[in-house]
Structure 1
């Protein structure tokens, strides 16, 4: 009886184990089949082959990756393209989407790390960067799988200034593709970009104009903005190779409509018969997906920042154009209708007499002498004049508010340029908090000027000669401060 019971239990356990094993096997096979079908959706044959390379430029070793298609004949000679960085550090990882798209289209592509020696926020040389690009192009043209007569450049943003110079320098550049390139100098381009960033942050009114005009002129003259006045038009006017110039319709960093017009005029002046100007719908500055030019939709994440997906239309336009050029069928010149552009870019100076450097800096020196000199001289002679200056308090108020307004305005605008407008946001009535405080200081200085002048006039008989001189200089500084504040838009809404 006991043995029969044990036999039944053992038999039941055996049947249960077999069922579990069959069930596990079915699940494993299903999972394997699912993973195989997913892998089959993106064939391995479609992935470009990557090769690490290095090359020399001005004594510096630059490193990059060559992306080449997998399925080509061993003796095939393919077109090649070098990717030219936009502004910033420029690691090659940011350009993998473009590199893979070109490689899959049968175009051997070089993406390399931008130099850090000789390139920084305060230092850059487009001529040096152009030489780096040409060194990379020479490396690409020397490959057995590249047709040296069909190797060109692709350039993003700042790379447009670099690549056009490289193309003008060397006959080895067979074609040029740009995305988000500017037709203006870097300073004007950056001020337009800052204006858009401020508008996006709900900042409006006079402050945006202060950034675009007197602020930009100040930055230009400090030398803190490298290559500020670089003019790309003379380079464009030398380009006779096929050019494809693209802009995203939502570009907020480079004025797309104005830049397209500059490119078209310059290339026509060059007699270029193969200049194509196009706009990428649903794309931002880089040609990648965006809803408004400020966000990035999908795509890779590099250094914690999304790049935005590279849209199929953008990829198709570039690759089909390069393939046509390489096949000897470069499209004839054409230009798409220019889309609407929210704001028009401005040159920092209108050429007015009061914008001359001598006038502006002389005014600044007089203001600093008047506002800062009064408290300094009062401190030096405080014992001899103690209790004999009824104008002391309004004069001190004028000195402090005037000095804060002048120094604060210049410092704040420099900070806006240095940070690219990051952190600026409307506080009240479209004004940032620092700008609002500077405007309050400005109006306080005007009231203090009137109070100081009135008190000085009433008490002029009680004042010593030295006090009269100091107050006269201070009041003159207050009067001179009025046109200065108007020029810097501090008295405008």
Structure 2
């Protein structure tokens, strides 16, 4: 119940039922049910494909493909590919990487990611690591693969998962990470959405205040899985050699902060066998990008697959690197911001209480007038300022929360704020203008009530009192969300 109430609170606050429904976890099924398998992928003629199935966490059956050179030596190195974020991501998503790595002499296992127990609002990195270990065991048993030379590759979210698997198993010979995060997920994702907004030309309180506030509220409501997971201790427990790869134009992982965090954790654990490399004109997945990380081309960054193939060959032959970093300096427009759990006065529960107060206070004013008209009674006195306060307050509260939630939902693929004017998306600019008008309307309504001559009925006093109470609470609320900041 402690987690259900905040989750319901945020869901009601955001009024995003369609989006939430699309991301809600599927109904529970028995753990030994097989995950749906995608059709076997098309494979180039110079490679051989073998379909495999294996047990993941909880006994779930997962399906994958092992790619290896059609000709060549036996006892070759192997590598398991671990997906980035996404529910039920098919193996075809990483088939480009798998093909290129296999052409460098590796046996590569790529598998369909689970959807059971994994959704936008629910996931466990430990569970995903168990799936990866199941894949490692499956690759160990493949003909032509040297079990002592099987490693793991993780992209993005896989950069949190792969170290967990490596720290728990001596059956993993090496670790390759691409676009990996050395920071907690909530801190990374908040930065990513802000980076996307900055790339689109947005700045100011929407980026600096509203987006972080929304993410903290969502996390407090239980709608952001593993928000404060600290990867440092796990990375420090990794004893295998590590290859870290980042694109210089990564807009989803802070490319200046993550590599030092990884290096610091590895060094703390006594592991100096790591190689870090930055690829120019490359994005989060080390694919080519022509526009600073906004567009991802199908091609891998030049030299990326060659580096993986050569590095794996060296480390599996016993030629271990020692704290090497190379490549051009990455581009990071702004630093990340620490994301601590919210205080009680900014919690998801209190946000729910405030939104309900606004709905009652602002909607009661026109609702009472409508009810009286339908009953044929006398119309209560109405002022233009009161109408503006009522309509503007509801529009700003619901509109701003819905817009912020939309930005967060699209932030994983770079936020799409719409047209931007003077550093403000036009939608946000309109909401800010309406918020200022709502504050002014609060003052004018209070002044008009004070100047009212003659007796005021108890019902009218309650009606206007609720409206003004909503307007008074609206001011600090709008300041907190950045709606009244320049």
Distance 1:45 1:408, change over 3 A: closer
Cα offset, 1:427, TM superposition: 4.2
SS at match of 1:450: helix
RMSD: 2.7
User: Unaligned stretches of 5+ in structure 2?
Assistant: 1-42
SS at match of 2:303: helix
Q: Could you report, residue by residue, the CA deviation over 1:209-266 in whole angstroms, capped at 9, with x for unpaired residues? A: 2443112122223333333333322321211111111111111111111111211121
Match of 1:164 in 2: 163
Cα offset, 1:351, TM superposition: 6.0
User: For the residues of structure 2 that align with 1:128 and 1:194, how far apart are their CA atoms?
Assistant: 26
Q: Which segment drifts farther, 335-344 or 185-194?
A: 335-344
CA contact (8 A) 1:212 1:348 kept: no
Match of 2:301 in 1: 311
SS at match of 2:114: coil
Distance 1:177 1:452, change over 3 A: same
Match of 1:400 in 2: 391
SS at match of 1:276: strand
User: For the residues of structure 1 that align with 2:249 and 2:85, how far apart are their CA atoms?
Assistant: 19
SS at match of 2:336: coil
User: For the residues of structure 2 that align with 1:252 and 1:212, how far apart are their CA atoms?
Assistant: 16
User: For the residues of structure 2 that align with 1:438 and 1:222, how far apart are their CA atoms?
Assistant: 25
Distance 1:45 1:222, change over 3 A: closer
Distance 1:350 1:133, change over 3 A: closer
User: Unaligned stretches of 5+ in structure 1?
Assistant: 1-43, 298-306
For 1:71-470, what aligned pairs fall within 5 Å after superposition?
Answer: 71-73=71-73, 76-88=74-86, 89-291=88-290, 292-297=292-297, 307=298, 309-336=299-326, 338-349=329-340, 354-357=345-348, 360-377=351-368, 379=370, 386-387=378-379, 389-420=380-411, 423-459=416-452, 461-470=454-463
Distance 1:368 1:46, change over 3 A: closer
SS at match of 1:52: strand
User: For the residues of structure 2 that align with 1:360 and 1:390, how far apart are their CA atoms?
Assistant: 32
Cα offset, 1:426, TM superposition: 2.2
Cα offset, 1:338, TM superposition: 5.0
Match of 1:477 in 2: 470
Distance 1:403 1:164, change over 3 A: same
- In terms of Rg, which structure is larger? 1
Match of 2:47 in 1: 48
User: For the residues of structure 1 that align with 2:477 and 2:263, how far apart are their CA atoms?
Assistant: 40
SS at match of 1:67: strand
Cα offset, 1:293, TM superposition: 1.0
Which structure has more relative contact order (CA 8 Å, sep 6+)? It is: 2
Q: Under a length normalisation based on structure 2, what TM-score does the superposition of the two structures give?
A: 0.82
SS at match of 1:312: coil
Between Structure 1 and Structure 2, how many residues are aligned?
437
Q: Which segment drifts farther, 115-124 or 286-295?
A: 115-124
Match of 1:4 in 2: none
User: For the residues of structure 2 that align with 1:312 and 1:434, how far apart are their CA atoms?
Assistant: 40
Q: Under a length normalisation based on structure 1, what TM-score does the superposition of the two structures give?
A: 0.81
SS at match of 1:55: strand
Q: Which segment drifts farther, 101-110 or 442-451?
A: 101-110
Cα offset, 1:205, TM superposition: 2.7
CA contact (8 A) 1:460 1:468 kept: no
